Structure 1
Amino acid sequence: MNAASDLCFFTSSDGELAYRDAGAGDLVVLLHSGFVDHRVFEAQIPALAAGYRVIAPDVRGHGASANATRPFRWADDLAALLRHLDAGPAALVGVSMGGAIATDTVLEYPELVRAVVVSGAATSEFEYTDPWVRQVQAEQARALGAGDIEGWVAAFLRFVPGEHRTLDDVDPAVLTRLREMALGTLAKHTPDEENHHVPMTDTWSRVPKIDVPVLTVNGALDAPDLIAEAERLARTVPDGRCATVEGTAHYPDMERPDAFNEIVTGFLGSL
C-alpha cells in the first residue's frame, strides 16, 4: 500500500498531485490531516474499497504531491481532481485539515459532492482557543523557528493522545506512522518557503445552504473547542448528525479504526 507504484498522478495546473485509487462503485474521497499524507487512512482504504471506489489524495505540499509555486486553494485542487476522475459526485471523508477541505469543497463546488464526513474539523475558518492546544502550537512554532525538527515532531505527536492522556496510552505503531509521514512532508519544504495557500473566508454564512448529508465524527478526548465547532456545523446544516469515538482524541481513524469504519460505512450506506 505504501509503494510508490500504488500511486496515481493527476497533472494539475501547478504540478502533479498524487492519489490512491482502489475499489469500484460510488466515489468516496479520503482527505488526510495536516503534515501527513494519504497513509493516515491505511485502515480505511481497504475497508471502504470493498464497496466503493476510494480515492485518497496527497494534498498539495504533502506526501508525493507537488509543492505549490503560486497561490492555490484546497477546494480548487480537489475539484480539479474530481473532474479529472469524472466519477462523482463524491462522498468526502476528511480528518482535521482534510475535514476542512471537505467542507470548503462542498461550499464552493456543491455539484461535485453528495455527502460530507468531517472528523476533528468544521470549516477551514477555525482557530483554537483551548489553552493546552495553543501551548502545544507555540512549542511547534518555537521548534520550527529554531530548526529543531525533532522538537517540532515531539510537539506534533502530543495531539495524538490529547491533553488528558500521554504517549504511553497510544499504540506505538500509530505514533511511528504519524512521525514517518510528518518527517516526509517537512522534508519537502524549507523554513523560508512562501506559503501560497489562499484561505477561504465567510464560510459560516454559507453553511446553512449545504444541502447534502453531513456527519461529524469526534474523538471524545479531542480539544473541547474543536468538538464544539464540529457540533455547530452539524446543527447548522439542514441534514447534520454527530458521532463520538470514545477513548480517542484527534485521530480516531487510526486509534480505533474498526469503530471509525463502522460509523462511516453506516453513514455512507444510509445515503
Structure 2
Amino acid sequence: MQSQLHFPQFFSDDPANAMAYTETGAGDILLLVHGSLCDYRYWRWQFAALGQRHRVIAPSLRGYWPAALQTREPSFNVAQHTDDLIGFIRRQLGGQRLHLLGHSRGAHVALEASLKAPDLIRSLVLADPGFRIEPNSATHNFLPEVARQLETGEVDAALACFIDTVNGAGTWRHMVSWFKNMVRDNAYTLVSQAREIDLVFDPSQAARLKCPVLLLGGENSPPRYGQVIDALMQHIPQAERDTIPLAAHGMNLANPKAFNERVLRFTAAAAAQY
C-alpha cells in the first residue's frame, strides 16, 4: 500500500544500496533522517518551509518504503543505517559538510553518523532521540509483542500499540490517513527492529561532538525522551535545548510552524559560527 503523497523520487547510485530520497530547495544542505515506521514522506510539512533556505534532502533508510522489508532481516540495525547514511553523504552528495537532523530512532542514526564522520557535519539537530541510555531500561520492552502481532497478521493492532507507546495513548486512533498509510507501508520493519542489538547509547560518547547541537523535545512527549535529552545535555557543553509547544513525539507534524522556525534559527546561527 502507498500513500497518496507525491514527491520527486530519486535513487542513489550505490549498487549495494540504491537509497530512495527526495529533495527540494537550494543552499546549504539540510539532511533529514526519519525514525521508526517512517520514510522520507514523514517530512511532508518540512520540505517547503526548510527548502526556502536550504537544499533539503530526505532519504528513506535501508529496509523502508519504497523497498520496505516484509520479513525479518538480521542486518537491520542502527550501525548499518549509520554506515549507509555516511556513504550516501560521501558518494551521492560529494562529501559536502551539511546540517543533519534526526528524529527518534533517526536521531540515533544521526548522532552515530556525526561521531563517526565529524568532518561531514556542520550542525546536528536531535528531535526526541529514541534510544536507551541504560542497558536494563524497559523503554523498548513492548517491541516483542508488537513483532508477534505483526507476524500473526494483526497489523493495525501492532501499529496502534507502537504509535500510542511512543507518542501517547490514543494517538493512532486520531492519526490522519496519509500517516496511517505510510506506517502500514513500513509495518514489518518492526519485526527486525524488535531484534536490534545496538539501541543502547552511552551518553558520555556525545562529548566528542564539536559541532553546534540542538536538542528538541515535544512539550507533551513521553518522559523517557526528556530523560535522554537530560543525559546528553550533561555531556555536550555547546548544546542548546528547546521544547516544541503543543506537540508530543511527532512534533514536526503536530506543530510544524514552531518546529521549522526553530530549526531554521539554529542552522542560520550554526552556519555563521562553524
Q: For residue 90 of structure 2, what is the amino acid of its counterpart?
A: R
* CA distance in 1 between partners of 2:134 and 2:252 (Å): 21
Q: Superposition RMSD on alpha carbons, in Å?
A: 3.2
Deviates more, 1:142-151 or 1:104-113: 142-151
Matched, 1:95 2:95: no
Alignment of 1:117-156 (within 5 A): 117-121=125-129, 129=137, 137=143, 139-156=145-162
* CA distance in 2 between partners of 1:230 and 1:112 (Å): 23
Matched, 1:2 2:8: no
* CA distance in 2 between partners of 1:270 and 1:140 (Å): 41
Deviation, 1:161, is 4.7
Deviation, 1:136, is 5.2
Name the structure 1 match of 2:115. Answer: 107
For normalisation by structure 1, the TM-score amounts to 0.83
For normalisation by structure 2, the TM-score amounts to 0.82
Deviation, 1:103, is 0.4
Deviation, 1:160, is 6.4
- Contact 2:31–2:56 at 8 Å: present in 1 too? yes
- Segments of structure 1 that go 5 or more residues without pairing to the other structure are none
Kindly tell me the number of residue pairs found equivalent between the two proteins: 261
Name the structure 2 match of 1:62. Answer: 64
Matched, 1:81 2:88: yes
- Segments of structure 2 that go 5 or more residues without pairing to the other structure are none
Secondary structure of 2:19's aligned partner: strand
Q: For residue 178 of structure 1, what is the amino acid of its counterpart?
A: F
- Contact 2:134–2:200 at 8 Å: present in 1 too? no
Deviation, 1:216, is 0.8
Alignment of 1:230-245 (within 5 A): 230-245=229-244
Name the structure 2 match of 1:43. Answer: 45
Name the structure 1 match of 2:180. Answer: 179
* CA distance in 1 between partners of 2:215 and 2:136 (Å): 18
Secondary structure of 1:114's aligned partner: strand
Aligned in 2, Cα 1:76/1:124: closer, same or farther, shift over 3 Å?
A: farther
Match of 1:158 among 159, 164, 182: 164
Aligned in 2, Cα 1:89/1:64: closer, same or farther, shift over 3 Å?
A: same
Aligned in 2, Cα 1:247/1:203: closer, same or farther, shift over 3 Å?
A: same
- Contact 2:143–2:190 at 8 Å: present in 1 too? no
Deviation, 1:211, is 0.2
Deviation, 1:199, is 3.0
Q: For residue 168 of structure 2, what is the amino acid of its counterpart?
A: G
Deviation, 1:124, is 6.9
Q: For residue 267 of structure 2, what is the amino acid of its counterpart?
A: L
Secondary structure of 2:87's aligned partner: helix
- Contact 2:144–2:194 at 8 Å: present in 1 too? no
